[in-house]
């Protein structure tokens, strides 16, 4: 029995009641591991639910779904189901691989009938309340900072099936997309666009060709003293000197005022932003801190990216300097900073 040959209603009912021969029963069991459509029929059979059109089926939201949002997320691992979220882009995914700074994500969609030949269907996922379709041809490497909520894991056999489809050993559930006006083609483009936005999630400076001069050089060439800069930016002279030395960043209002003062654009000033310690960036990107950082960003009226950068270059940078040690425990400093608010 291939993934395209679905057992009929009577066969599924006999399988639930244990009336099939062993060979046929095993074939249906194998089919069910990769077919969410038949799994739904089995669920209805077991609960005496009326058969309905799958396209209109609305599963109840399990309590585990709400609990996932209230729980501290675990460390990312292969096979986990996550919601990715950054700015306005969001996507459910299964993690295929993980690294210290990124994850390889396979998009997970609820409509089982809108898949191409790369799609692998999961059994019913308890936290999400239904089977889901994995688009294995749309894999993306995404920064860990986009990980938001974990909804458990898929069974090991689903990952094995993904590996087989990705390697060409077996076909996925759907048929190839051959027309641009195919509804599935439009869905594929939509998923790809969301994943592209998530893959580009950044909050720190990422300058490939940074300026050869410094902000101190910029100020000096215009005869601007730290006192004058402090007056315009409405900060202390010591903060102005820290900005010119690169040890303190500017918030958006300070940057805009400085840009006007020196006759440059705000985007040009952004090129001079202080770099963030790579180890600190990795620590701040851990999913366990995200909800608290986002809450504080909203309270301060900042974007998540802007607030995370501010935390790295202000509070945590000062705390690291006062630690007076060459081995900095960034996780402890982050916890202390968040608990002190």
Q: Which domain holds residue 230?
A: 215-270
In a domain, 167, yes or no: yes
Q: What share of the chain is helix, strand, coil (3-state, %, to 5)?
A: 50, 15, 40
**H runs (alpha helix) in the chain:** 9-17, 22-32, 36-46, 63-70, 156-167, 183-199, 215-221, 226-233, 237-245, 252-262, 266-270, 278-284, 287-299, 304-313, 315-323, 330-340
pTM: predicted TM-score of the whole model, two decimal places: 0.70
In a domain, 208, yes or no: no
In a domain, 206, yes or no: no
Domain identity same for 127 and 185: yes
Give the 3-state secondary structure of residue 230. Answer: helix
Total number of domains constituting the chain:
4
Q: What is the CATH number of the domain that holds 87?
A: 2.30.30.110
Query: Going residue by residue through the chain (341 aa), what tens digit of pLDDT does each one get?
Result: 434 467 887 887 777 677 777 667 767 766 665 565 676 666 565 445 444 444 444 445 566 666 777 788 999 999 999 999 998 899 999 999 999 999 999 999 988 877 788 889 888 887 887 888 999 999 999 999 999 999 999 999 999 999 999 888 888 877 788 777 788 888 889 999 999 999 999 887 654 566 888 999 999 999 999 999 999 999 999 999 989 988 787 888 999 999 999 999 998 898 888 778 888 889 999 999 999 999 998 898 888 888 888 888 877 876 666 655 567 888 988 998 888 76
Domain identity same for 101 and 228: no
Domain identity same for 89 and 178: yes
In a domain, 33, yes or no: yes
Domain identity same for 124 and 163: yes
Q: What is the CATH number of the domain that holds 241?
A: 1.10.260.40
Q: Which residues pair with 142 in a beta bridge?
A: 103
In a domain, 166, yes or no: yes
């Amino acid at each position: 029995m291939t993934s395209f040959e679905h057992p009929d209603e009577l066969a599924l009912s006999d399988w639930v009641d244990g009336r099939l021969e062993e060979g046929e029963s095993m074939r249906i069991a194998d089919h069910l591991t990769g077919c969410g459509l038949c799994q739904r029929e089995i669920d209805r059979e077991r609960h005496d639910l009326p058969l309905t059109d799958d396209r209109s089926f609305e599963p109840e939201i399990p309590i585990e779904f709400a609990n996932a949002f209230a729980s501290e997320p675990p460390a990312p691992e292969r096979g986990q189901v996550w919601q990715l979220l950054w700015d306005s882009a969001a996507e459910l995914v299964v993690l295929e691989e993980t690294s210290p700074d990124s994850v390889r994500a396979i998009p997970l969609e609820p409509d089982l009938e809108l898949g191409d030949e790369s799609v692998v269907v999961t059994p019913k996922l308890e936290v999400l309340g239904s089977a889901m379709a994995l688009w294995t041809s749309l894999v993306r490497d995404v920064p860990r900072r986009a990980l938001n909520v974990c909804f458990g894991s898929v069974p090991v056999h689903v990952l094995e099936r993904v590996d087989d489809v990705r390697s060409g050993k077996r076909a996925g559930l759907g048929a190839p997309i051959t027309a641009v006006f195919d509804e599935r083609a439009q869905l594929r483009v939509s998923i790809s666009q969301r994943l592209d936005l998530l893959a580009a999630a950044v909050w720190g400076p990422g300058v490939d060709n940074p300026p050869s001069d410094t902000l101190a050089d910029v100020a000096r060439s215009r005869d601007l003293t730290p006192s004058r800069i402090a007056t315009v930016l409405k900060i202390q002279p010591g903060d102005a000197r820290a900005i010119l030395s690169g040890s303190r960043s500017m918030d958006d209002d300070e940057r805009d005022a400085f840009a006007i003062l020196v006759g440059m654009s705000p985007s040009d000033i952004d090129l001079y932003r202080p770099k963030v310690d790579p180890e600190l960036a990795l620590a701040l990107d851990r999913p366990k801190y995200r909800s608290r950082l986002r809450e504080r960003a909203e309270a301060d009226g900042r974007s998540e990216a802007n607030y995370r950068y501010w935390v790295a270059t202000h509070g945590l940078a000062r705390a690291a300097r006062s630690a007076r040690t060459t081995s900095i425990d960034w996780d402890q400093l982050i916890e202390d900073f968040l608990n002190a608010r």
